[in-house]
Chains A and B, each alone.
Chain A
Amino acid sequence: DAGITQSPRHKVTETGTPVTLRCHQTENHRYMYWYRQDPGHGLRLIHYSYGVKDTDKGEVSDGYSVSRSKTEDFLLTLESATSSQTSVYFCAIDRGPYNEQFFGPGTRLTVL
């Protein structure tokens, strides 16, 4: 257990509504990541953070924003959810000398 929790674990929302997903870690790791997982695509990086208030884009960042005001929390926001953002979202932290990533339990988001 890498001490990562995600909330909510499941969410159904409607197109056009804002949604915020939370990732919380208890181990004070500097790097945190948000991925989405879709059939046929594996995991794709949305955004990542390398410290408080330090974030950068991944390969599929359009339509998403992130914030990190505390080391332990990394928030992913969909400003106006679309059906194409229906996915499973995983948060990860970077741990150990070899940048091995450990994943949270995931959030299943459905946008109707």
Chain B
Amino acid sequence: AQSVSQHNHHVILSEAASLELGCNYSYGGTVNLFWYVQYPGQHLQLLLKYFSGDPLVKGIKGFEAEFIKSKFSFNLRKPSVQWSDTAEYFCAVASNNAGNMLTFGGGTRLMVKP
């Protein structure tokens, strides 16, 4: 069965620290990869996505993610976090083997201390 794993459930950082959130998946076939952010009390927003091409993807708000096919990973990074980045982050994968059904990881709750 397809699955998405986010290993860090809770992360606490100080402002200006660097961020890396891990995401691993187990799927066959071609995959499309996503990171979503959910600010407190708000709906899901797309941060970035990877479909093909350059495996280093740049998204909104200074976030980027790198697709490493050999490691089945799509880790999210940001060089310097801000207090306003406090949110929950979800990695998600859609595989054409699974009819492009979007499966979410369990989420990582990030708290940035001012």
A and B pair up: no
User: Taking beta carbons and an 8 Å cutoff, which residues of A are in contact with B?
Assistant: none
User: Taking beta carbons and an 8 Å cutoff, which residues of B are in contact with A?
Assistant: none
